Structure 1
Amino acid sequence: MDSISLKQNRPVAIWLLIGAVMIIVQVLLGGITRLTGSGLSITEWQPILGALPPMNEKAWLEAFEKYQQIAQYKYINSHFTLEDFKSIYFWEWFHRDWGRLMGLVFIFPFIYFLVKKKINRSMIHPMIILFLLGGLQGIIGWVMVKSGIGTDLVYVSHIRLAIHFMAALVLLCYVVWFAMKITVPPQVLSSNASVRSLNVWLLVLITIQLIYGAFMAGTHAALAAPTWPTINGMWWPGQYMFNQGSFISDITHNLISIQFIHRNLAYLITIMLAWWTWKASKLPAGEPLHNMRYIPLVLVVVQVVLGVIALLHSPLETKLLYSILHQFVGILLLIALTVTYYYSRGRRGQRSR
């Protein structure tokens, strides 16, 4: 990739990275929506008309009446006043409208770049994949909400929540990867196989960890043991971890098991990232991967600290702030590991700058 191509691709890369930032905001809004129990407050999907919230008292009462028909209101929020309903409606509406805005931010610049011939032939297939992933995410979101309407469910399944969450992160990582692919010259990539291999394992572990983070949020598992460093005074709460009837159920539905796995994965990832940092420090000075070697380690330490704080605050009103910060740093860590993996993909013998 020559310098002229890099310069020509820069506007497209900036557009993609703006989209990545918007995806991060959308994921955080999704977290707030879940933690505030707002996800089922809007009981219908109107892609265009739904962009505006109820504009008068009559419209608000109609929306509230529809919410009163679902199980969440009947069994959990029957004490809600109209003002209470408005507070949860806001987060779901904002979450959906941000998704609409993202669609516009992706579509209109895409048309502009297409007309101006800023998108070359090699970008077409990645662009198609990008739009398909974005559309899929919207469909998953609505299916998830729909599952809690007209049923006895008071909350959307944490499994569906995790699928929705991870689909968004796949889209995010794809956008970041695409932006790097069209702007990063291959000459700056590192070719150390052991660093790359360890990076792959870290990506696998952080993916599992993020899934369990969604399980933690979806089941409110923190409330089952809001203590640290032990779990309700136990280092090994084995007698409380295996009571669901099957191993799969134990690791996906047992609150103590979910929390135990989430905690210990954090410790394992921290240790492995320290090892990765040490390996990356052995790379030639000046290589991008060498220069960014401390970023993932700093992020994971901050992430663990925020996780502990969020856990201890889970019974308190301040839980939302720390939980969202915890989620945000987790997303940054995933992006950092995606970037470091990209920079570790150099071929052996390739000259580095």
Structure 2
Amino acid sequence: MELNTKKGNKAVAIWLLIGVGMIIIQVLLGGITRLTGSGLSITEWKPILGAIPPTSEAAWEHAFDTYKQIGQYKYLNTHFTLSDFKFIYFWEWFHREWARLIGVVFAVGFVYLIVKGYLNKNMVRPMIILFVLGGLQGAIGWIMVSSGLNEENLYVNHIRLAIHFIAALGLLVYTLWFAFQLLVPESERVVAPSLRKFTGWMIAIVVLQLIYGAFMAGLKAATFAPTWPTINGEWIPSNITTFGNRTFSGLQKFTDNPFAVHFIHRTLAYVITILVIIWLAKAAKITTGKLFKRTQWLPLVVVLIQVLLGILTVLNAANTKALLWLGITHQFVAMIFLIVWVWELYLLRKTKEN
């Protein structure tokens, strides 16, 4: 019976980790979609029929004509040919198609695990939450896209973009945590309440940084200050309250002004790096837990790589092709950084019972 339980847990965990990998790819496709300006190319939401792209020249012309009705085309892409439209259509279609594939993999895997008898009653509630989160993410995605299908918005609002991004990461983290519960022996977890609390705060700060990363992408903030270490020659931007002919007040100073967003994103990167060094110094004092000792250096390595990628992304912001691939790599490492922290949090316990 114990062998069957172990086998079942491993099967479920593998299924979950496949889902984690697919979610990571989906987020990266979302980043490509955003950076190529493809997100508004498909103006309809057809969960089933939308899986098939236009199959004739007439169907392509109809899809292009529909795109011509929104502001992004009228004020930004009037120079587009049908070939240009097909390029942006592909990325948005692929992004949606991959989401459908995730749903299929989860559904088929779920049925397979039930048939094999690998799911037990303790897994029912997490499974329900998992499917609800997946469905919610799809709904958020369409709400985000539909908000830009008008004559006023040239792109999807950066705050809605951040919500979509963080919701995807929430699904990723929940799935990953579920897999850890099935794979990691309890004997490998370390009782370290103080460091666990510190790790929790680190995750909170990293999530804030990820939100500002989404703001950076949504506002194209890197292109306004492709310099480092200063921001266009200033350590603290003098135009935090204004941008062009716009004046910001209240929270908008920190969320809507590209220069303020850029400054906050950079500053958080430096703060996080310092905190990682402090965290590692505290973690080095823990002598128990083989897995923890083997992986406690990961946050420092990943944050250093991420800072370097961030600098390179900013310096190459004027190069569209370089910005795309550096930006996507930067986004990928950001997800790895979050995963590393979730891993460290899981290995640390408040008490022996928790």
Q: TM-score, normalised by structure 2?
A: 0.95
Q: Is the 8 A contact 1:205 1:269 kept in 2?
A: yes
Q: What stretches of structure 2 of length at least 5 have no aligned partner?
A: none
Q: Pick the aligned partner of 1:276 from 246, 268, 279.
A: 279
Instruction: Identify the range of structure 1 (181-190 vs 123-132) with the bigger mean alpha-carbon deviation.
Output: 181-190
Name the CA distance, whole Å, in 1 between partners of 2:340 and 2:348: 12
Q: Which letter does structure 2 place at the counterpart of 1:136?
A: L
Q: Pick the aligned partner of 2:347 from 312, 335, 343.
A: 343
Q: What does 1:143-222 align with in structure 2 at a 5 Å threshold?
A: 143-222=143-222
Q: Is the 8 A contact 2:72 2:151 kept in 1?
A: no
Q: Which letter does structure 2 place at the counterpart of 1:251?
A: F
Instruction: Identify the range of structure 1 (108-117 vs 156-165) with the bigger mean alpha-carbon deviation.
Output: 108-117
When the two chains are superposed, the root-mean-square deviation of aligned CA atoms in Å is 1.5
The residue aligned with 2:22 is 22
In structure 2, the CA distance between the partners of 1:349 and 1:79, relative to structure 1 (3 Å rule), is: closer
- Describe the SS at the equivalent of 1:194: helix
Name the CA distance, whole Å, in 2 between partners of 1:316 and 1:19: 33
Q: Is the 8 A contact 2:189 2:289 kept in 1?
A: no
Q: Is the 8 A contact 1:309 1:322 kept in 2?
A: yes
Q: Is the 8 A contact 1:285 1:291 kept in 2?
A: no
The residue aligned with 1:37 is 37
Q: Which letter does structure 1 place at the counterpart of 2:339?
A: I
The residue aligned with 1:242 is 241
Q: For each residue in 1:163-184, what CA deviation from the matched residue of structure 2 results, as whole angstroms up to 9, or x when unmatched?
A: 0000000000000000011222
Name the CA distance, whole Å, in 2 between partners of 1:3 and 1:118: 11
Q: Is the 8 A contact 1:310 1:319 kept in 2?
A: yes
Q: Pick the aligned partner of 2:293 from 290, 295, 308.
A: 290
Name the CA distance, whole Å, in 2 between partners of 1:245 and 1:334: 31
Shift of 1:217: 0.1
The residue aligned with 2:133 is 133
Identity value in percent: 53
Q: Is the 8 A contact 1:16 1:175 kept in 2?
A: yes
Q: For each residue in 1:56-83, what CA deviation from the matched residue of structure 2 results, as whole angstroms up to 9, or x when unmatched?
A: 1111111101101111000000000000
- Describe the SS at the equivalent of 2:190: coil
- Describe the SS at the equivalent of 2:236: coil
Name the CA distance, whole Å, in 2 between partners of 1:198 and 1:19: 29
Q: Pick the aligned partner of 1:332 from 333, 336, 341.
A: 336
Shift of 1:3: 6.9
Name the CA distance, whole Å, in 2 between partners of 1:38 and 1:348: 50
Q: Is the 8 A contact 1:158 1:215 kept in 2?
A: yes
Tell me whether 1:96 sits opposite 2:96 in the alignment: yes
Q: Is the 8 A contact 2:190 2:288 kept in 1?
A: no
Instruction: Identify the range of structure 1 (146-155 vs 294-303) with the bigger mean alpha-carbon deviation.
Output: 146-155
Q: Is the 8 A contact 2:72 2:153 kept in 1?
A: yes
Shift of 1:349: 9.2
Shift of 1:334: 0.3
Q: Pick the aligned partner of 2:318 from 315, 319, 322.
A: 315
Q: For each residue in 1:205-257, what CA deviation from the matched residue of structure 2 results, as whole angstroms up to 9, or x when unmatched?
A: 100000000000000011121100011111122x3113444230000001111
- Describe the SS at the equivalent of 2:117: coil
Name the CA distance, whole Å, in 2 between partners of 1:220 and 1:54: 30
Q: Which letter does structure 2 place at the counterpart of 1:242?
A: T
- Describe the SS at the equivalent of 2:191: coil
Q: Which letter does structure 1 place at the counterpart of 2:35?
A: L
Name the CA distance, whole Å, in 2 between partners of 1:7 and 1:74: 57
Name the CA distance, whole Å, in 2 between partners of 1:105 and 1:189: 31
